[in-house]
Structure 1
């Protein structure tokens, strides 16, 4: 392993010979400069990994040298060394983004600790993570092989997401092993859902997890009954790993509890989100409130009546409190939503639906540039974090906390990066979704899908007597035989939803209570 290359800048550099020898004995390479100008010139010529710099030097001071350095090499970490503990100097140094500072006289062991903290930390953490994951690998494989409850599968998915994100930070070669284990888990999870889903929907399985139709009644309304003003923030297409990517920002003003719930099938807005707001399964919405249900074959939007469905649920349960519903597609709409709480009383329930991630996943399918920007899960998380930081949500959350409101942050379903096309044939009336199909004349390989010939058995409407649904498993997607290769290559590695996978079905449910 190649050791780091340092630059030590001090006008009394000859007195520091013992430190230089100490570092060289540890295998590090050290260059020396006795003034700021020489240091700047050396940094232009050599890619140093770390700089130790004295603050009190004749000519350019350490802080002045640091300012000049940052104009052309802002990436080099600088450790400021000073004789003074003056708070003003420390504040200036920290303000100029030093990596660390040491007070003279400096001991050799302090130098070594600083190096390990700044340079070796990633490597040490990576090596530790590798050892930990190797120890976890066999146990996780055993858990995947025998898991037969929603609780067990949620725990497995959370562990896989943890390791996926842990190794993605450093592009660690162990990522490949995690992805293989994730695929193994995805296949087993599909079989698990095929065995249990119908019993969950019909209430015949006591181990049924919390699902879309029960979410408001079991998780949101009890908070209102305790006298809390609740904000339900629903981010469409929001996965567990994306929550973890924004968690530090979202929880800045809150104490929080994390849990998960299961989206119903299809894991698509028309079904999962309408079911969530209606508090009932899609077949009941279609039967009891046909004015709010849009069939697959109709051209109009499939989620235009969420506020109506929510109002009907509140009325059905005899809940008299106030509520508001807002859908946010554009940044300006989010700004208006966030600014709308100043100077007015909060509703008992305020709902905000943010559609950016769903729009991103669809746009990414069509745009080569976005495919490059979100080429894999790590990039997708990064793009999500960037959007969140620059959206109206941090400001909104801050204002909610300031007013003492409670936030329930969740989604209607997740999304998965699809990789393997599965051939299916269908008539022209069949829906276009790549992860599920609903129609009369479907031909497919029954071993490769979850096929439902009686839609009502899983709470889905049946526009025709012969309507059936099929769902893609794990990271498969449906492609028609006509022009199959073009279709398959075009949609491969795009993010889709509607089918059966841990990423689409096991989704975050976060409750945030203000710290003060």
Structure 2
């Protein structure tokens, strides 16, 4: 390992000899300078890893030196040391992107800590995170062998996401690979749990988690009944729990999180089923019976989510809620900008509902466009792309306006999505649905180990295309590939983000309530 080179600039550098000797014994290489002008020249000629800079020097001040050396090379950490506790000096130094700020007298251990914080930060975090995950690995493995409740699966999934986010920036990629294998095992066990329990959740008076069709009544209505604030209800299509975590801190600049919970998206975890169920407060089977004019089955022509506003109005009426409300579906930058421009006109509303479709479009674009395949090659990149979108989206501007207008904010989604990697052969007739993570139709032939099959869709609240139709749902990271033109199909869809089936990523999704700061 190369010796770390430090430039220390102070007009009383001779008085700092004990500190310099202390650091040299720790194997740091120190170059000293007693004035700002020479310091700038030395910095330009040298290749320093870090600079200690006295703020109060005759001639060029520390802040003047800082400005010049930042122009030469801005990435080197600069630690400002000063006798002054003047607030404006601190603010100017921090505004100039110093790495640390120390007030004299400083002791050698303070100096050492600041060096480690700035130069060894990544390595120390990496080593500590690796050690902590190694300890946690055994506990997760034990939990995985014992978890048998829907609440337990939520807790385990959140734990896996926590460690995925902790490990994504460390140097030891082996740890991330171990976590990936734990996630894969978790999804395998979760698929078995759903097979054993999902049908029971639809029994009368059965204990079950909050599901898509019970979400609004169970979790949204209590917020509406408080009547102390208007509510902005945002449904971001396809938002996974880990993607929410990627931009949580951005929302936190404007809103304080009051409640974080998870609910279970219904099967199929697809927009036409799960999102319609949220707004209707009904299962798809109930929707087909009660609102045949709004419901379309998989193989029918036309849009499948065209009547969410009408379904929501009917649910509000059924629940006895007489509210001033508006519904907006954002499917383009232009429609997002239009809502930003007009949002202040909604200040008298009790409820504003916004469906935002960007992440769904992103997952489709990854399937169809090579450039997006490159940008969202894996879950880490997919999260990064989601963060970049959110920071620059009209949705963030809408949320900022809502905060200024005193709206309570609810963020949720209709379902998540999973990166599919394992093809599973399926055969069906020409009226079989096209989704890669579930199929519905007659005479389906499939690989039993890869799917959860439901012969009678009514028992899980689903309509049937015809009398003998069944549903199959892909488990783990499988995708359902037709035998015809199999190799082309597999190469085209492998490593794309799909939804409709059974996985932690698709079914366990966030529900978040915020109050404005």
Task: Give the TM-score normalised by structure 1.
Answer: 0.94
- Per-residue displacement from partner, 1:132-179 (whole Å, max 9, x unpaired)? 222221121111112111000000000000000001022433111111
Matches within 5 A, 1:156-175: 156-173=156-173, 174-175=175-176
Q: Which residue of 1 aligns with 2:202?
A: 201
Matches within 5 A, 1:190-269: 190-203=191-204, 205-206=206-207, 208-228=208-228, 229-255=230-256, 256-269=258-271
Q: Which residue of 1 aligns with 2:130?
A: 130
1:366 alignment partner, one of 341, 365, 368: 368
Matches within 5 A, 1:98-497: 98-173=98-173, 174-203=175-204, 205-206=206-207, 208-228=208-228, 229-255=230-256, 256-342=258-344, 344-497=346-499
Q: Which residue of 2 aligns with 1:70?
A: 70
Unaligned runs of 5+ in 2: none
- Per-residue displacement from partner, 1:184-210 (whole Å, max 9, x unpaired)? 10100000001111111234642x100
Return the offset for 1:37. Answer: 5.6
Q: Which moved more, 1:412-421 or 1:487-496?
A: 487-496
SS in 1 for 2:260: strand
Q: Which residue of 2 aligns with 1:29?
A: 29
CA distance in 1, matches of 2:145, 2:45: 56
Equivalenced residue count is: 514
Return the offset for 1:72. Answer: 4.8
Q: Which residue of 2 aligns with 1:19?
A: 19
CA distance in 2, matches of 1:250, 1:432: 36
CA distance in 2, matches of 1:10, 1:420: 62
Unaligned runs of 5+ in 1: none
Aligned CA distance change for structure 1 residues 171 and 440 (closer, same or farther; 3 Å): farther
User: C-alpha root-mean-square deviation of aligned residues, in Å?
Assistant: 2.1
Contact 2:123 2:171 in 1 (8 A): no
Aligned CA distance change for structure 1 residues 19 and 38 (closer, same or farther; 3 Å): same
CA distance in 1, matches of 2:146, 2:347: 51
CA distance in 2, matches of 1:10, 1:447: 71
Asked whether 1:97 is paired with 2:131, we answer no
CA distance in 1, matches of 2:300, 2:236: 25
Asked whether 1:508 is paired with 2:510, we answer yes
Return the offset for 1:485. Answer: 2.7
SS in 1 for 2:488: helix
CA distance in 1, matches of 2:432, 2:345: 50
Task: Give the TM-score normalised by structure 2.
Answer: 0.94
Aligned CA distance change for structure 1 residues 11 and 472 (closer, same or farther; 3 Å): same
CA distance in 2, matches of 1:98, 1:140: 40
Contact 2:260 2:510 in 1 (8 A): yes
Return the offset for 1:20. Answer: 2.3
SS in 1 for 2:427: coil
CA distance in 1, matches of 2:3, 2:424: 50
Contact 1:448 1:473 in 2 (8 A): yes
Return the offset for 1:55. Answer: 2.8
CA distance in 1, matches of 2:381, 2:171: 12
